[in-house]
Every structure is written in structure tokens, then in C-alpha cells.
Amino acid sequence: MGIFAPRAPECASRDGSAGGTLMRRIHDRLDASSRRGLRREAHSMAIYYLNIKQISRRDGSRATSAAAYRSGTAITDERSGRTFNHSGRDDIEHQEIVLPGAAAAEPGHWARDRSKLWNAAEAAEQRRTARVAREYAVALPHELNAMQRLALARQFASYIAERYHVAVDLALHQPRPLGDARNFHAHLLTTTRELTPDGLGAKSSAEITNTQRRERGLPYPWRDFKEIRAHWAQLANEQLRAIGSAARIDARSLAAQGIERRPTTHLGLAVTSMQRRGIQTEVGKRVAQERAQEQAERERRTASAALTPEPVLRPRAPAVDPSSSLQFSLHANSGRQGAFVSLEARQRAGAEQWFAMRQAVQEQGQSGGASRDVLLRSAAPAPLTPEQLPLPRRAIDGYEW
């Protein structure tokens, strides 16, 4: 515990307005550690969201339908003859197809035709439960403008395309009129097969089995996706740093970041759609309650940090014998008996007790006395007394608290 010198709080300003001085103290009395903590939480205010999911026939999904919806275009599915027309969407900020390797330099490459690409992806799969596409959905920092968001999304799309040698259908979406105004996001729909000069080839490394990954010397999928999550955070933070924004995103959990805050609940597409139509849901009510509680807790921590006086540090007591690496000390308050017990002393005492025990066992064995177990218990070293037990200590930069 630190040594504090508290001051009586002032709850009124000089002009008599209640809380005026208190608010100035909240602004002025934040110490260095509180500022670091609040800065860390402020950096986390930029939302990190990256969701990876499969587009599978098992769920009744089609790659052609998914591509048409995300890009806001019309695509006719050649296998079924159905046309998926989403050209009436007005929230599509940008859409393009990103290709890997040499194909990226070919403006007229066949895979740039969205209808041809996703019909080829459907035709390449024969199983009725096949995965026909994979999607990476990311939240774009609202601190960026339209051109900066596009540059960031292109960087990430190129990274995915080169990593797995697949075609990436990139679509940037704007926030919906009745939704969160900060909800700029991007959808990256990728083929499950590698793009080759002859068309779509073998399954990409993201789709193969664990046995095949081991044979190729590749990490397990969860490690692969963890690297992708970290790379997205790196790209986004580089863009935020370039524009001079203090906001940051972090792929780690809140606990790993040292932030004492409960993770929020994701509403999802279904709940959000219902709320836009005026339908109240239990999930929506719970999320609203969580947000209100989190806001109240954040305000309470801010006020508490502002009113907490700074601790007074005292220098750490010198070690007993810093030259000896075998010696340890048991810390105790001054005035206690046995404050420091050296390792050598404990070893000598144990050796003497051991020899005494052996001699006693031999003598009692010859005379038919007490059993060996009784003698072992009686000759065991005495435990440390409470006065000899160590007290906890915290050291920071050469000082003890």
C-alpha cells in the first residue's frame, strides 16, 4: 500500500456553482498512471471486429447469391437458373475484385468478371455439402475518410489474396440510415480454390484438412487465423497512426490487454434488422443495458482516478548479501526474530538432523524400540514460525510499495 496525503474534496466552485471545482479536479488531478490507463482504454475505443465464416451448400447458401448481395449487383446462377438481383442497394461504397500474383496486373483477367468468377466457383464443387466461398468481415475505423478506408481494405484484400492465392471480391458498406453512424465495414468474399492460369485449381491452404496441413508443414487453422487477426490490427493501426489519430484496435482479448471491462454482445444481422422495423428483442434490451452499465462504470472509474492522491514511494531496502546467488532472505518487519535465514544455515541444520536421525534409527533398531516412521516424524525439520514467513512485496522501478 502506498502512503497517501489525501485532501478534503471540494464540491463547489468559487462562483457557487455545485460541482465546478470537482470537475476541474477531474480534469487536472489525473496522475500519470491514471492517464496511462485512460489512454489505453481510449485507444481501444476504435472497434475491433473481424469475423471469418464459410459459405456452404450445407446451409443452403450459394456463392453467386452471397457475391450479389455483398457487392450490390445482379448475378444469374447458372446451376439453378436463378437471378440474384441486389442492384437496388444504396449503402455500397465500393466494390472490386482483387487477384493474386501476376493476375493482379491483368485488367482483362476473366476472374474480374464477378458473374464468371462465382459461377466457376459453384461449378468447381460437386458435393452437395461443399464450401463454395469464405468470407472475412471487418469493421473499418470510422476515424478514416472514404479514401483511407478503401486503401486499408485493399491492403487487407491483397494480403488475403497473396496468402492463399485466391480471388477476393471486396465490398465496402456504409452505415445503414437507422443503424450506428460509425458502422463502416467491409466484406471480403474469397474463393475456396486457388486461382491458376487455367482457372480455379486445388483447394487453398485455408480449406484443407489438418492432416494435409501437417504434411505441408503448415500450422493449425486457429494459428493461421490468429495471424490474420493480428495482421488486420497492424494494418488498421498503421492507417490510424498515419492520420495522427490516437485510436487503436487490438486483436487480443480484453483480459489480455489488462482492461477490466466485460465484452459486449454482438447484435447480429437478424436482431439489427428487427430493431430497424421497430421490433424489440431480448438481445437488444440486454445489449442496451450492458452499454448503459459500461458507460456508468467508465464514468465512475474516471472520477475515482481523478480523486485518488498520488502514492509516496520509499526506496527499497538493500539486500542482505547481493554477492551470493545461493542466499535468500525472508522479509519481515523490523524487530521480528529470525528476520533473515540463510540457505547455508538451513542446509547445515538439515544435514545435522539427518545424521542424528540415522543414528537414532540404528540404535532403536538394535534395541527393538520405536518404529522407523515414528523416528522419521520426530526427526523431521521444524517448520518456519510465522515470524519467519515472508511478507509480500511489490517493487516498481527500484521502489517498494
DSSP classification of residue 216: T
Q: Is residue 303 part of a domain?
A: no
Task: Identify which of 89, 96, 92, 171 has the alpha carbon closest to the alpha carbon of residue 137.
Answer: 171
Question: Could you give the dihedral angle defined by the CA atoms of residues 212, 213, 216 and 222, in that order, rounded to the nearest 10 degrees?
Answer: 170
Asked if 314 and 3 touch (Cβ cutoff 8 Å), the reply is yes
Q: For residue range 206-259, what is the model confidence (pLDDT) as tens digits?
A: 999 999 999 988 888 889 999 999 999 999 999 999 999 999 998 887 777 777
Distance CA 155, CA 149 (A): 10
Asked if 194 and 167 touch (Cβ cutoff 8 Å), the reply is no
Give the per-residue pLDDT at 301: 76
All 3 cell numbers of residue 89? Answer: 442497394
Q: Is residue 100 part of a domain?
A: yes
Give the per-residue pLDDT at 107: 87
pTM comes to: 0.60
Size (the chain), residues = 401
How does residue 279 score in pLDDT terms, banded at 50, 70 and 90? confident
Task: Identify which of 241, 307, 302, 297 has the alpha carbon closest to the alpha carbon of residue 38.
Answer: 302
Q: Residue 169 belongs to what domain range?
A: 50-261
Backbone angles phi, psi at 321, to 5 degrees: -145, 85
How does residue 15 score in pLDDT terms, banded at 50, 70 and 90? very low
Distance CA 259, CA 38 (A): 10
How many structural domains comprise the chain? 1
Is the pLDDT reported for residue 60 higher than 90? yes
Q: Domain of 131: which CATH number? A: 3.30.930.30
Is the pLDDT reported for residue 384 higher than 50? yes
Distance CA 100, CA 112 (A): 12
Q: What is the DSSP string of 55-123?
A: EEGGGT--HHHHHHHHHT-EEE-TTT--EEE-TT-S-EEEEEEE--GGGGG-TT-GGGSHHHHHHHHHH
Q: Is residue 232 part of a domain?
A: yes
State whether the Cα torsion 7-13-15-17 is positive or negative. negative
Give the per-residue pLDDT at 37: 45
Q: Is residue 278 part of a domain?
A: no
Give the per-residue pLDDT at 94: 97
Distance CA 233, CA 235 (A): 6
Q: Is residue 242 part of a domain?
A: yes
Distance CA 233, CA 311 (A): 36
pLDDT > 70: percent of the chain: 65
The segment with the largest mean pLDDT, out of 85-94, 266-275, 380-389, is 85-94
Mean pLDDT estimate for the chain = 77
Q: Is residue 165 part of a domain?
A: yes
Asked if 117 and 190 touch (Cβ cutoff 8 Å), the reply is no
Is the pLDDT reported for residue 100 higher than 60? yes
Q: Is residue 194 part of a domain?
A: yes
